[in-house]
C-alpha cells in the first residue's frame, strides 16, 4: 500500500527582501530552503504517472456559494447571503455539480465559496450524482467581512504536490505591496511523454469596482513576487534545468481591461508582466484566443472579469518535442444559464424568487481552457 503525503502550506510568509537587511535575507533563504526540502522529499503519487492526453482548467466565480447553515457565519453579510433553505442550497449545489460534470475539468478554480464545508458537499454531489471523484483544497483566507474564499478542485487522479498561500507583512505593505485576501497556490504534476511536468497554479479573487484599479495593481505586484519565489523553489527541485515549470494564473481579476487592449501599467498588465521588465517571462492572456463576441464573463455587458493567464510555453507548441500546449479556450455561459440570461434586476434583487428551472447559477460565467499533449 502506497502512502500519499500532501503538505498544506498554510499562512506562508514570503517577505520582500531589501538587499541591505541581512535578517530578511536569511529569513527568505530559510523559506526557500524549506520549499526545496518539501518538494524534494515529497513522493510523487503513483497514479500521477498515468499518461495524460488532455489537461484542463476551469475558473468560475460561483457568487456567494453559501449553504443554508448560518451558525458558522460570524458576519452579518455572510448570514444574509446564505441560501435561505436546505432545499434551495441543495438545488444550487447540485446545479454546480452538474455543470462541472458536463465538462469534467482536471482542475477547477472557484471563487466566492463560503468554506471547505461547501466544497466537501460539492465533491460529494459530484461523486453521488455523476460518479466523479474530486479532491477539494481550501486554505482559509483573510476576508472577514464577506467570509468569501477561493478553492481548488482536482480530479482524484491528479498529482497535487502542495497547496499554499502567502501573507503580506507590514514591511511589504510599507513598500507598496497590497494584501490579497483571497488566493491559493498549487503545484500540480502533469505526466507528459513519460516524464512529469510541473504546473504552478494561482487562483485569486482581486478587489472589485473600477475605482480600485490601483489597489488591484498593487495586489498584482504581490502575486508576482510570490510567483517568482514559488517558481524558483519548484525549479530547484527538478532533476534537469531544462525541465519545464509552467505557470497558470486564473480567477476573478475584476479588471476593466479588455483582451488585446491591456495597458502595461494596469492591474492585468502588471500581472501579465509578472512584475519584471523581462518580456521572456510574460504571461499570455488566453482571452485573446476567444472570438470577441464571446468574451463576456459577467452579467454586466462586455465585462471580462474572469481570465486565465499562462506562461508562453503552454501556448507555443514545439513541433519536434512532445509537450503540453493549448488546445482551446472558451467562455461556457451555457453551463451557467438556465435558459436566457437573468436580468440584472431579477438576479441581484430577487434571485431566489426566480423559478429553479429559469435561474442562473451565478452572475459570472465559467472559462474553460484545455491543453493537449502532442
C-alpha cell at position 123: 465533491
* Model pLDDT, residue 316: 85
Q: What is the largest CA-CA distance in the chain?
A: 62
* Model pLDDT, residue 35: 52
* Model pLDDT, residue 208: 97
> Distances in Å between the alpha carbon of 166 and those of 31, 33, 142, 224?
12, 16, 11, 12
Q: Write out the chain's pLDDT in tens, 374 residues.
A: 333 334 444 444 444 334 344 444 444 554 555 554 545 444 444 344 455 579 999 999 999 999 999 999 999 999 999 999 999 999 999 999 999 999 999 999 999 999 999 999 999 999 999 999 999 999 999 999 999 999 999 999 999 999 999 999 999 999 999 999 999 999 999 998 888 899 999 999 999 999 999 999 999 999 999 999 999 999 998 888 778 899 999 999 999 999 999 999 999 999 999 878 888 889 999 999 999 999 999 999 999 999 999 999 999 887 788 889 999 999 999 999 998 999 999 999 999 999 999 999 999 999 999 999 88
* Model pLDDT, residue 6: 40
* Model pLDDT, residue 349: 97
> Taking the model in full, what pTM does it have?
0.87
Q: How far apart are CA 53 and CA 34, in angstroms?
A: 33
Domain ranges of the chain: 8-373
C-alpha cell at position 278: 523581462
Q: Which fold would CATH assign to domain 8-373?
A: Deoxyribonuclease I; Chain A (3.60.10)
Cell 532533476 locates to 239
Where helices occur in the chain by DSSP H, the ranges are 22-41, 76-80, 86-103, 116-130, 170-174, 213-235, 267-273, 333-336, 344-349
Q: How far apart are CA 284 and CA 265, in angstroms?
A: 16
Say what the alpha-carbon torsion angle 247, 251, 253, 258 is, to the nearest 10 degrees: 80
Q: How far apart are CA 208 and CA 215, in angstroms?
A: 10
DSSP three-state, residue 199: strand
> Cα-atom radius of gyration of the chain, to the nearest Å?
20
Q: Is 198 left (phi over 0), alpha (psi -120 to 50) or beta?
A: beta
* Model pLDDT, residue 241: 77
Pairing, β 183-192 against β 195-205: antiparallel
* Model pLDDT, residue 45: 44
Amino acid at each position: 500500500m502506497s502512502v500519499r503525503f500532501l503538505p498544506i502550506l498554510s499562512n506562508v510568509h514570503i517577505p520582500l527582501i531589501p538587499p541591505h537587511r541581512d535578517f530578511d535575507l536569511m529569513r527568505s533563504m530559510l523559506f526557500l530552503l524549506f520549499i526545496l526540502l518539501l518538494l524534494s522529499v515529497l513522493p510523487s503519487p503513483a497514479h500521477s504517472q498515468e499518461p495524460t492526453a488532455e489537461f484542463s482548467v476551469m475558473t468560475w466565480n460561483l457568487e456567494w456559494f453559501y449553504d443554508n447553515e448560518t451558525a458558522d457565519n460570524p458576519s452579518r453579510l455572510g448570514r444574509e447571503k446564505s441560501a435561505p433553505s436546505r432545499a434551495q442550497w441543495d438545488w444550487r449545489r447540485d446545479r454546480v455539480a452538474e455543470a462541472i460534470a458536463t465538462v469534467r475539468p482536471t482542475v477547477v478554480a472557484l471563487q466566492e465559496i463560503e468554506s471547505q464545508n461547501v466544497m466537501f458537499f460539492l465533491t460529494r454531489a459530484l461523486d453521488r450524482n455523476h460518479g466523479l471523484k474530486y479532491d477539494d483544497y481550501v486554505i482559509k483566507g483573510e476576508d472577514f467581512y464577506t467570509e468569501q474564499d477561493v478553492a481548488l478542485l482536482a480530479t482524484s487522479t491528479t498529482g497535487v504536490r502542495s497547496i499554499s498561500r502567502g501573507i503580506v507583512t507590514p514591511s511589504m505593505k510599507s513598500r507598496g505591496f497590497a494584501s490579497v485576501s483571497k488566493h491559493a497556490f498549487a503545484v500540480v504534476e502533469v505526466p507528459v511523454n513519460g516524464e512529469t511536468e510541473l504546473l504552478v497554479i494561482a487562483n485569486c479573487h482581486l478587489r472589485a469596482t473600477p475605482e480600485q484599479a490601483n489597489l488591484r495593481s498593487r495586489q498584482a505586484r504581490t502575486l508576482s513576487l510570490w510567483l517568482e519565489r514559488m517558481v524558483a523553489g519548484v525549479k530547484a527541485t527538478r532533476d534537469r534545468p531544462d525541465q519545464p515549470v509552467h505557470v497558470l494564473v486564473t480567477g476573478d481579476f475584476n479588471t476593466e481591461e479588455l483582451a488585446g487592449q491591456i495597458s502595461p501599467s494596469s492591474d492585468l498588465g502588471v500581472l501579465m508582466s509578472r512584475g519584471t521588465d523581462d518580456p521572456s517571462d510574460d504571461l499570455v492572456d488566453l482571452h485573446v484566443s476567444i472570438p470577441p463576441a464571446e468574451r463576456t464573463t459577467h452579467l454586466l455587458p462586455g465585462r471580462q472579469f474572469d481570465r486565465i493567464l499562462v506562461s508562453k510555453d503552454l501556448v507555443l507548441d514545439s513541433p519536434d518535442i512532445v509537450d503540453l500546449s493549448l488546445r482551446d479556450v472558451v467562455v461556457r455561459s451555457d453551463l451557467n444559464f438556465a435558459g436566457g440570461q437573468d436580468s440584472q434586476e431579477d438576479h441581484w434583487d430577487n434571485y431566489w424568487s426566480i423559478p429553479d428551472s429559469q435561474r442562473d447559477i451565478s452572475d459570472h460565467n465559467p472559462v474553460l481552457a484545455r491543453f493537449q499533449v502532442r
